[in-house]
Amino acid sequence: MGAAVARRESPRSPLTQLRWVVQDSWTVARRHLLHIRYMPEKLADVTIQPLIFVFMFAYIFGSAIVVPGGHYRDFLMPGIFTQSMAFASMSIMVGIVNDMSKGVMDRFRSLPMSRAAVLIGHTGANLIESVLGLIVMTGSGLVVGWRADLGLWPTLAGFGVLLLFGFAMTWIGAFVGLFLRSVEAAQGFGMVVMFPLTFVANTFVPTQGMPAWLRVIANWNPTSAVVAACRQLFGNSISTPQASTVWPLAHPVIAALIWCGVLIAVFLPLAVWRFRWAMSR
Amino acid sequence: MSGTAGGGGVAIRARGVRKHFGRTEALRGVDVTAERGSVLALLGPNGAGKTTMVRILTTLLRPDAGQVEIAGFDAIREANEVRYRIGLAGQQAAVDEYLSGRANLEMVGRLYHLPTRAARQRADELLDRFGLAEAGQRLVRTYSGGMRRRLDLAASLVAAPPILFLDEPTTGLDPRSRVGMWEEIEALVDGGTTLLLTTQYLEEADRLADQIVVIDAGKAVATGTPDELKRSVGGERVDVRLRETRQLEAARQAIAEATGRTPDVDAESGHLTVPVDAGAAALTAVVRELDAADVGIEDIALRRPTLDEVFFKLTGHAAGDLSPDGEQIVRGARREEVS
């Protein structure tokens, strides 16, 4: 055997253990980022698909949508940003289902690596993908004429809210992925849950025109709060008289933060619980 | 083949291992022991509990009851110590399809906490050794089934583990790749690695193993060396094929004279078979009598029962007794496949 291989021992000190959690997490995350190099289409969820939506809504549907007191493209972009954050959770869902079903998870489990690193690496890589997607979309938004008008800090705060939402959705994706048995099921889940979640909201059109029952759902949809927060922070708000009567849309930034906090508080522990269960099975 | 050379000591020891999944009893109290440097085969049909046993021995599963000691460490309380000392190649090639072969091995090296350079060097070493040096930069997705298995085996060897677990290492391989895999395994064992492998192939267990544990329906039904198992079924016999079938009657009498038993006769092929107790001595006696009777012999041999026969006798069904959809029919009852 190669002299390169010296027998390693389990870490005794908490500090070494922590270092290995970080190092192992990075190794797992790096693997996903390498996937992007070999298979750029993996980023489709957060790049090509939002681009298609940008051009479809900006030029096709947008030509027939009139938003009072503003330009539709300004109205549209925060919606697209938010939608792509939601869709990014599909990638971690599929990734986890793949690892579970193809035996990669078993390989990890037979290694003396940190258990937590598997989950942290997956979610970390997912967040990095989301950032890459945001960069691509911001560029395309600028191309079609979208602008953030309120200066640097509110704009950064807007992206911060988006990433926080992306982080919350990642944990939902991880949790659901740990239950599903096939990639097809994950894709089906995306169709059934992601589309209503991102369409029954103020993402593409104001909610005022929706039937009353649908409007209630849309107004209280976390997606709506995040979209409205971005519109406010990017200065893309339009004057809609009724909007202010609904609490989450009247206080969108606080509502978005609360929603993200709640989603993380619920789904992060659930995902960790399910992950531990799956790892000890 | 290897002896138990490489020093004494027990590498794998499991006592009374039980595991159930829901209502299915996957393991019902299994003991296995492997001496350091030896090869132990778990032999059994699909659903017998082999994979469950391997998952318990490799710390992937906690047993409901029983003790497991690997390299002197408790597999439950000191799981991480165990993980530094074992390699596992499962039934599926657990490699990442969307990484290159090299990146796969490097990743595993890093997860064993090898320094980056050492992980890279080790990856190249293993690619070379398994004939994957040229394919090393390619995506695993483009690999053939045999190449994936070799990469998977390489991944299990990254940390040069003293104890290796191979779960059905040749299932699904074509005959040539299978022989190639056997040669790799034999080379590892010659290097002093303790090996536990599971297999449905009797030929494989016969060729590779020092000790065989036959598992059926969650229980170890027999343990021993391949020879011991064959002998335990008893029934050595002498097979004679005649040069000319017209001498059948003379041959039958000569054999009855030599062994005191009436042989089974296949008149068409000129084949006679007789059970014997005395082994080689009986063979000599038969040859002598046939010679004296001037019977021409095309072929004569002392046959021991094959592991197939052993398996059938021990379990009441054949090793490959599977329905087409992969589920096994055991004594009329369909059992949930446990894996």
Give tens-digit pLDDT for A166-187: 999 999 999 999 999 888 998 8
B110 and A38: CB-CB below 8 Å? no
Task: Look up residue B198 and give its two tokens.
Answer: 């599971």
A3 is a domain residue: no
Which chain B residues are closer than 8 Å to A106 by Cβ? 55, 60, 88, 90, 94
What token pair was written down for B93?
A: 């090639």
Partners of B107 on chain A (C-beta within 8 Å) are 27, 30-31
Q: Would an 8 Å CB–CB cutoff place A111 in contact with chain B? A: yes
Q: pLDDT (tens digit, 9 = 90+) per residue, A23-52?
A: 999 999 999 888 888 877 777 777 788 888
Beta bridge partners of B74: B69
Q: What mean pLDDT do residues B19-35 have?
A: 92
- Mean pLDDT comparison of A42-51, A97-106, A121-130, B293-302, highest-scoring range: A121-130
B136 Cα distance to chain centroid: 29
Domain that holds residue A108: 14-279
List, for residues B235-278, the tens digit of each pLDDT value. Answer: 788 888 988 888 888 888 888 888 888 888 888 888 888 888 87
Q: Using alpha carbons, select from A36, A29, A47, A268 the residue that is nearest to residue A126.
A: A29
- Check residues A159 and B173 and name the one with the higher pLDDT: A159
Structural domains in chain B, CATH included, are 10-85+161-231+312-338 (3.40.50.300), 237-303 (3.30.70)
Residue A59 falls within a domain, yes or no?
A: yes
- Would A7 be classed as within a structural domain? no
- First-to-last alpha carbon distance for chain B, in angstroms, is 29
As for how many domains chain A has, the answer is 1
- A130 near A85, Cβ under 8 Å? yes
Given a cut of 50, whether residue B2 has pLDDT beyond it is no
Question: Which of A7, A107, A115 is the best mutation test for B, with the most CBs of B within 10 A?
Answer: A107
Chain A residues touching B111 at Cβ < 8 A: 24, 27, 108, 111-113
pLDDT mean over B216-243: 85
Percentage of chain A exceeding pLDDT 90: 45
pLDDT of residue A60 exceeding 60, the answer is yes
Distance CA B99, CA B102 (A): 8
The phi-psi region of residue B42 (left if phi > 0; otherwise alpha if psi is between -120 and 50; otherwise beta) is: beta
Question: For B72-116, what is each residue's pLDDT tens digit?
Answer: 999 999 998 999 999 999 887 789 988 999 999 999 999 999 999
Confidence band for A64, pLDDT divided at 50, 70 and 90: confident
> Which pLDDT does position A7 carry in this prediction?
53
- Flag whether A69 is in a domain: yes
- At B116 the pLDDT is 92
Higher pLDDT, B118 or B337: B118
* pLDDT at residue B247, rounded to an integer: 86
Burial class (CB in 10 A: 0-12, 13-18, 19+), A52: exposed
For residue A12, name the pLDDT band (cuts at 50, 70, 90).
Answer: low
Q: Is the pLDDT of residue B125 over 90?
A: yes
Q: From residue B203, how far is each of A53, B34, B200, B212, B305 by CA, in Å?
A: 59, 20, 9, 12, 13
- Taking CA atoms, what residue in A is nearest to B21? A281
Residue whose structure tokens are 């190099």: A37
> What are the residues facing B297 on neighbouring strands?
B242
CB proximity list for B77: less than 8 A, separation 6 or greater:
none
Q: Does B29 or A36 have the greater pLDDT score?
A: B29
Q: How far is B332 from chain A (nearest CA, A)?
A: 29
Let me know if residue A5 belongs to a domain. no
Q: Which residues of A touch B95 (CB under 8 A)?
A: 104, 107
ipTM of the complex: 0.83
Whether A106 sits inside 8 A of B60 (CB atoms) is yes
Interface contact A112-B107, CB threshold 8 A: no
Is A3 part of the contact surface with chain B (CB cutoff 8 Å)?
no
Rounded to whole angstroms, the Cα distance separating A75 from A96 reads 34
Indicate which of B96, B105, B124 best probes the interface with A, i.e. most A CBs within 10 Å of its own CB. B96
- Chain B hits for A7, CB-CB cut-off 8 Å, are 84-85, 159
Picking from B20, B73, B110 by the largest number of A CB atoms within 10 A of its own CB, the best residue to mutate is: B110
For the entire predicted model, the pTM comes to 0.78
Bridge partners, residue B292, by sequence: none
In a domain, A2, yes or no: no
A239 falls in which pLDDT band (50, 70, 90)? low
Residue B84 sits at the chain A interface (C-beta within 8 Å): yes
